[in-house]
Structure 1
Amino acid sequence: MNSETPGQTAATAPHGADNRRGPLRPGERVQLTDEKGRHSTITLTEGGAFHTHRGFLPHDTIIGKPEGTIVTNTTGQQYQVLRPLLSDFVLSMPRGAAVVYPKDAGQIVTMADIYPGARVVEAGVGSGALSISLLRAVGDYGSLHSFERREEFADIARGNVETFFGGPHPAWNITLGDFQEEVVRTEEPGSVDRVVLDMLAPWECTDAVATVLAPGGVWISYVATVTQLSRTAEAIRADGRFTEPDGWESMVRGWHLEGLAVRPDHRMVAHTGFLLTARRLAEGATGLVAKRRASKTNFSEEDLNAWTPAAVGEREVSAHKLRRAARDASSKVQRGALENAEKYNADQDGTPETP
């Protein structure tokens, strides 16, 4: 079945788009929703089955069906079958570090004005959640250069990105090492359109960011605490090569919708992190000084010595957990590739496609 849109061919369709269309295939991840609204995400395999205490559901009853199909397991339990949205995938994928939540990723893409074809650098890959959103935004002909200090995190992110897009993304490149050192070595001065930092101490990167960011380019930082937000803002002001920084946070509250019982949910996604943006000024220009400034902008020696992962509440992830998450992410890529290869070989041999 041809799942391309009119005017597109397999060679010109955006990377990963074909995986979002057409009947459900072996190697794909799908989301099952039961009658109580509970979600389960599985990878389809020929001959496989989804087991619960309420029976099992053969994968073959799903493979070849369109999205939105309702299927029934061996005990009569019904499930709604859909491909996971990006927000669903991010919250269920293997992880070694905390992910950037969809509400923050959406804000980053919009407020940093990430556009198709943009040249973006990112520091702090984590588990690859934000990288997926950035790759979708820059498209096949843009560029996302990600910097990560820990190889285990890079392996997990690579597996998750390849699972989501169905293989390596042509716009993505990962470099292991310290952002401040590597970005000025790998990127030409003034050649980057956007800088996205998700790291412990972004204020240490003002010079590196100012070096590679083009005039008018956007720098956006994601930080967890008020003290990080304050120190980053003051470092940007002190540098003088950026516009006045702008900081905010977003909160998402769902609503209960049932008949006339329409009210806010009792639980919500509240604080996850702060976002701070600034733009690069032209070379030689000096940022305008705000008329109102904080009365105290200096940090004590005690403040400067407090910036450790433990001090800001960042939990250490064990090496064992990281290796396990990396293997899990990699196995999903390999499983999907194997299923796709078998299907391709069957098509080449003229084997009729499973209805």
Structure 2
Amino acid sequence: MTTSAVGADLRRGPFAVGDRVQLTDPKGRLHTITLEAGREFHTHRGRLAHDDLIGAPDGTVVKNTAGVEYLALRPLLSDYVMSMPRGAAVVYPKDAGQIVTMADVFPGARVVEAGVGSGALSMSLLRAVGEHGHLYSFERREDFADIARGNARAFFGVDHPAWTVTIGDLVEQLPSTVENGSIDRVVLDMLAPWECLDVVADALAPGGVLICYVATATQLSRVAEAMRDHGGYTEPDAWESMVRGWHLEGLAVRPQHRMHGHTGFLITTRRLAPGVTPPLRKRRPAKGAYGEDGAAADSGTFGEDAEFTPEELGERVPSDKKIRRIRRSVTETSTTSD
């Protein structure tokens, strides 16, 4: 007899107390509730008893006291990460899917992640590695780590056994956390991933994949040049993805007016075997791209002395008060459910 995978029992079967349920009203608006016996979901258009949902099958339709119908479904992971409490900005599902696929994160893989943020990408990585793999996550801020743990615990129902979260800087903590050459994949979602290339190279097994998620073109250029200069990585590849939904109404089939445009750039490279140097690049660099010494042109604009901070890169930084409130809410929720 095989045991159920972590969180699988929360993804199937009739609705039960403690389940998160996504309600869709006739106008397509979404409402996420956690089922509790005797509780009610209130809007200005009536009340819906949680007891009407408890024991009902997934994908059911229920009416509130005013006769308004709601479609009730368990939220998918992509739904959950967009509505869960967050401190730091989340990695969008479109990017998380690209990271899992293009980095070839497989069941049983040993993966390193930095930083954790609100845990959105961590949950996708944990789903991919499964219980027989391991995810080593590093986060400088303890409050962000607490929020990520709380969000993951609410989604999986338990603390995932394949997840280790370390508070601290990746460069300082990674060498003492994992053995050299033991890591299959590394995912860096941070301001200055080029500062970590040496320790990542030590941790990665030959052929292992490094994928970085960066917000701006200046960061993308800087990390690409650092990968080339290191000498222990293959030629990097970079791209971005944009998702545009479509309006489907009879013959009025057209692109939606809103779309998920630029969220970030992804850049990948692979670890070469020890002592191996990458083949000489054959293509001719763009004119003016490099100076006489081989360094990137205009490096003073975003070179060694540039200050890469969330504010400088246009990132909206949450206030300490907001982080304390969210941290308290996720920890209190997990304690109550226990």
Pairwise CA distance, 1:309: 2.0
Q: Deviations over 1:99-120 (max 9, x none)?
A: 0000000000000000000000
Q: How has the CA–CA distance of structure 1 residues 94 and 170 changed in structure 2, closer, same or farther, with 3 Å as cutoff?
A: same
Do the aligned residues in 2 keep the contact of 1:190 with 1:212 (CA within 8 Å)? yes
- Does the alignment pair 1:253 with 2:244? yes
The answer as to 2:114 corresponding to 1:114 is no
Given that 2:88 and 2:317 are in contact with CA atoms closer than 8 Å, whether structure 1 keeps it comes out as no
CA distance in 2 between counterparts of 1:299 and 1:127 reads: 35
2:306 pairs with 1:305: yes
1:216 is matched with 207
TM-score by length of 2: 0.95
Moved more, 185-194 or 292-301: 292-301
Match in the other structure for 1:36:
27
1:316 is matched with: 317
Give the Å deviation of 1:287.
Answer: 1.4
The 1:325–1:289 alpha-carbon spacing in structure 2 relative to 1, beyond 3 Å, is farther
Q: Is the 8 A contact 2:14 2:56 kept in 1?
A: yes
- Other structure's SS at 1:36 match: coil
Q: Secondary structure at the match of 2:99?
A: helix
- Residue 69 of structure 1: how far off its partner (Å): 1.0
Aligned 8 A contact 1:223 1:275 in 2: yes
Q: TM-score, normalised by structure 1?
A: 0.90
1:327 partner letter: R
Pairwise CA RMSD: 1.2
Structure 1 stretches lacking a partner, 5+ long: 1-7, 338-355
Q: Aligned residues, how many?
A: 328
**Paired residue for 1:344?**
none
One-letter identity of the residue aligned with 1:236: M
* 8 Å Cα contact 1:166/1:333 also seen in 2: no
Q: Residue type matched to 1:270 in 2?
A: G
Distance 1:309 1:170 in 2: 32
**Greater relative CO (CA pairs within 8 A, separation 6+):** 1
CA contact (8 A) 1:167 1:333 kept: no
Distance (whole Å) between structure 2 residues aligned to residue 48 and residue 319 of structure 1: 32
Q: CA deviation at 1:314?
A: 2.0
Encode CA deviations 1:74-97: one digit per residue, 9 max, x unaligned. Answer: 111110100000000000000001
> Distance in 2 between the 1:32 and 1:235 partners?
47
1:320 positional shift = 1.1
The offset of 1:191, in angstroms, is 0.5
* Identical positions, percent: 65
1:279 aligns with 2:280: no
Q: Distance in 2 between matches of 1:126 and 1:289?
A: 38
Distance 1:103 1:61 in 2: 34
**Match in the other structure for 1:346:** none
Contiguous gaps of at least 5 residues in structure 2: 291-295
CA distance in structure 2 between the aligned counterparts of 1:78 and 1:47, rounded to whole angstroms: 20
Indicate the residue corresponding to 1:170 in structure 2: 161
CA contact (8 A) 1:26 1:336 kept: no
Mapped to 2, the partners of 1:157 and 1:140 lie a distance apart of 18
Deviation at 1:311, TM superposition (A): 1.0
SS of 2:78 mapped into structure 1: helix
**Which 4+ residue blocks in structure 1 deviate beyond 4 angstroms?**
none
Counterpart position of 2:235: 244
